[in-house]
Chains A and B, each alone.
Chain A
């Protein structure tokens, strides 16, 4: 049995006695869930795992049970699934309190087929079997408001005041101290728990920020992403502010979660070639394009996610790739062994990065294994193209779910249990939106604000 005396990662804060350990993991919706345990209780279950009711994968964001499709055999009458901690993620979250990330397993030792972290691990392992490792980075976008979460709740999360004012768009340094104070506090907390960040800045919309975490292996970056969002929320609570990762917190700008990715083989960037994309990069693009319509369901998980897909507004709207072309869905950055990479630009800020990355890696793997050649890159602007010129991304939750259902590659690589469960839950979401108060004719309905602003 492991011992709890092992040092937590992060900055040494001295000999503070551990009073509690928090278990952390995301569910399929991307919500960060867990329990806080006494050290004794944690020590007793470190190897055997900790029981959670399967409803953590069975409730929607309105706390209603998700119905409408066949459950897999592990979903019974609130059966238990088991959280197993990954002790390499143990950190001191705050003095006397530790936190550890883990994943969910079934009683028979199989991974829960829809456990996001296990799916990421499954894809990185498959990629390794091809001789590649991936380095990824994620851009975290969020919007911060002056009001406290209590005030935001009282207002239905609407008509809030963007922190830092409403003047300017992107990169402005002339921000009031309340805005920089929030981000400095976030950066300090990240450093304190050992999360390496590279940059943060003012983003396009009023109150919007972007923070970039250091590139790393997929699992580590996903773990850092989940904790960074938690820290951003905790700092907002502490300072009496509100932060949201909703795809569109207002009827104005949306927010994304672009994924940057490169592949290494024997320590060398396999995406680099002297002139243009390498063959490996081309095949990766081919696989990503072959799966992009089905993957749209995974990286745009909510009703509001699809409100972002507006030509000329920033997000990609077409099944496309281009070299140094940010109007396409997949931007290839070529020309240097240290930064040749792909930027997958479809995901919204509301995507669960574990699942999004699993889907992206599945596309890459398919491209490599099947040597899928992509079409010619798009050199023009990939917005507002004439009808029939280029395939457009699915622009509703139902169209995207249908695309995923029709995708044999993602079913093969991610597994039918995940695909069927995900599609069923998206159809439930669609039904709930329309029949329980959502308004498709509104720019952003109150139902969406209530459902998506705070969680995931």
Chain B
């Protein structure tokens, strides 16, 4: 298991005690996604009572692929691949819609609701998310020198420029779309395919940006 103790909550957020979120070694993307999302919740002081549940096993299944994982509450939270024990609750979700359930959960309804709450951390505003993304991604080999995020604000175009140097990469979209991708809540390629984002840069830069988006979404 890889153990991560969450950092203290950000100023202004509800006080969060430390929560151990553990994922197995060589974890699958889904296990990594769940682990990262739960850590975001803990870090934000979101669903802190849920994250400290003394017990409960929840199966998370993808609605359109065989992906599955198990969340086990108690002595922190652990996430593992597949569903190897009979869970107390099972939730089938859309992984490209921030764990939105596609059907009523089965089993313990309260536990399922708790799990869904823990998997729904608040998404930061787009500027905060972009700064977080840049902090995590700027060390990725081949990342452009400058990331420019552009959106339409109430007073016209708003722009955030991160980094400095010769190579630039521009991402434009609605504030919610930018925040979703930069925070890791949404998958970059999936959002691009919907047309909700526009990008300007080279194909090589897109490739690197995909890798950077994996870093924030899956913590790889």
Give A residues with C-beta under 8 Å from B.
Answer: 66-71, 75-77, 396, 398-399, 420, 424, 427, 430-431, 434-442, 445
Residue contact B30 to A77, C-beta cutoff 8 Å: no
With A71-B142, A76-B202, A435-B67: A440-B207 Cβ-Cβ less than 8 Å: no
Contacts of A440 in B (CB 8 A): 28, 81-82
Interface majority SS (helix, strand, loop, mixed), chain A:
loop
**B122-130, B172-180, B208-216: which lies at the A interface?**
B208-216
Bound CA–CA A429/B104 (angstroms)? 33
Q: Of B65, B143, B204, which contacts A71 at CB under 8 A?
A: B204
Residue contact A437 to B66, C-beta cutoff 8 Å: yes
Residue contact A438 to B66, C-beta cutoff 8 Å: yes
With A68-B207, A71-B203, A71-B204: A435-B65 Cβ-Cβ less than 8 Å: yes
Most buried by B among A66, A71, A77, A399: A71
- In the assembled complex, how far is the CB of residue A64 from the closest CB belonging to chain B, in whole angstroms? 10
Give the residue name and chain of the B residue nearest to A396 (CB).
Answer: B26
Give the residue name and chain of the B residue nearest to A442 (CB).
Answer: B66
B29 within 8 Å of A (CB atoms): yes
Residue contact A441 to B208, C-beta cutoff 8 Å: no
Give the residue name and chain of the A residue nearest to B211 (CB).
Answer: A68
Give the residue name and chain of the B residue nearest to A79 (CB).
Answer: B203
Contacts of B67 in A (CB 8 A): 434-435
- In the assembled complex, how far is the CB of residue A304 from the closest CB belonging to chain B, in whole angstroms? 15
B161 within 8 Å of A (CB atoms): no
Bound CA–CA A68/B211 (angstroms)? 4
Residue contact A71 to B207, C-beta cutoff 8 Å: yes
Contacts of B204 in A (CB 8 A): 70-71, 75-76
With A67-B207, A70-B208, A71-B203: A445-B26 Cβ-Cβ less than 8 Å: no
Bound CA–CA A288/B174 (angstroms)? 53
Residue contact B214 to A445, C-beta cutoff 8 Å: no
Interface string of B129-148 (1 = CB under 8 A from A): 00000000000111100000
Residue contact B28 to A77, C-beta cutoff 8 Å: no
With A431-B214, A436-B65: A67-B206 Cβ-Cβ less than 8 Å: yes
New A-B contacts (5) at CB < 8 Å, excluding given A69-B141, A398-B26, A427-B220: A69-B142, A69-B208, A70-B143, A76-B204, A430-B29
Question: What are the 6 A-B residue pairs with the smallest beta carbon separation, nearest first?
Answer: A70-B142, A439-B66, A71-B204, A68-B211, A67-B210, A67-B207
Bound CA–CA A438/B64 (angstroms)? 11
Most buried by B among A68, A431, A441: A68
Contacts of B143 in A (CB 8 A): 70
Give the residue name and chain of the B residue nearest to A395 (CB).
Answer: B26
Bound CA–CA A163/B204 (angstroms)? 46
Most buried by B among A67, A436, A439: A67
In the complex, the number of residue pairs spanning A and B with C-beta atoms less than 8 Å apart equals 67
B117 within 8 Å of A (CB atoms): no
Could you write out 12 A-B pairs with CB less than 8 Å apart? A67-B189, A69-B207, A70-B140, A70-B204, A70-B207, A70-B208, A71-B204, A76-B204, A431-B214, A434-B28, A434-B67, A445-B66
Bound CA–CA A53/B7 (angstroms)? 48
Bound CA–CA A424/B214 (angstroms)? 12
Contacts of A427 in B (CB 8 A): 220
- In the assembled complex, how far is the CB of residue B110 from the closest CB belonging to chain A, in whole angstroms? 28
Contacts of B189 in A (CB 8 A): 67
- In the assembled complex, how far is the CB of residue A376 from the closest CB belonging to chain B, in whole angstroms? 30
Give the residue name and chain of the A residue nearest to B81 (CB).
Answer: A440
Residue contact B203 to A77, C-beta cutoff 8 Å: yes
Bound CA–CA A66/B142 (angstroms)? 16
Q: Of B66, B141, B142, B210, which contacts A441 at CB under 8 A?
A: B66
- In the assembled complex, how far is the CB of residue A428 from the closest CB belonging to chain B, in whole angstroms? 9
With A67-B211, A435-B29: A441-B203 Cβ-Cβ less than 8 Å: no
Contacts of B140 in A (CB 8 A): 70
With A71-B142, A398-B26: A437-B203 Cβ-Cβ less than 8 Å: no
Give the residue name and chain of the B residue nearest to A69 (CB).
Answer: B211
Identify which of residues 15-62 in chain B touch chain A, using a CB-to-CB cut-off of 8 Å. 26, 28-30
Give the residue name and chain of the A residue nearest to B64 (CB).
Answer: A437
Contacts of A66 in B (CB 8 A): 207
B100 within 8 Å of A (CB atoms): no
B68 within 8 Å of A (CB atoms): yes
Contacts of B142 in A (CB 8 A): 69-71
- In the assembled complex, how far is the CB of residue B192 from the closest CB belonging to chain A, in whole angstroms? 11
Bound CA–CA A387/B211 (angstroms)? 35
Identify which of residues 142-169 in chain B touch chain A, using a CB-to-CB cut-off of 8 Å. 142-143
Contacts of B208 in A (CB 8 A): 69-71
Contacts of A75 in B (CB 8 A): 203-204
Give the residue name and chain of the A residue nearest to B33 (CB).
Answer: A435
Contacts of B206 in A (CB 8 A): 67
Residue contact B68 to A68, C-beta cutoff 8 Å: no
Give the residue name and chain of the B residue nearest to A73 (CB).
Answer: B204
Bound CA–CA A75/B205 (angstroms)? 11
- In the assembled complex, how far is the CB of residue B147 from the closest CB belonging to chain A, in whole angstroms? 15
Bound CA–CA A437/B66 (angstroms)? 6
- In the assembled complex, how far is the CB of residue A220 from the closest CB belonging to chain B, in whole angstroms? 36
Residue contact A70 to B65, C-beta cutoff 8 Å: no
Residue contact A68 to B66, C-beta cutoff 8 Å: no
Give the residue name and chain of the A residue nearest to B30 (CB).
Answer: A434
Bound CA–CA A68/B204 (angstroms)? 9
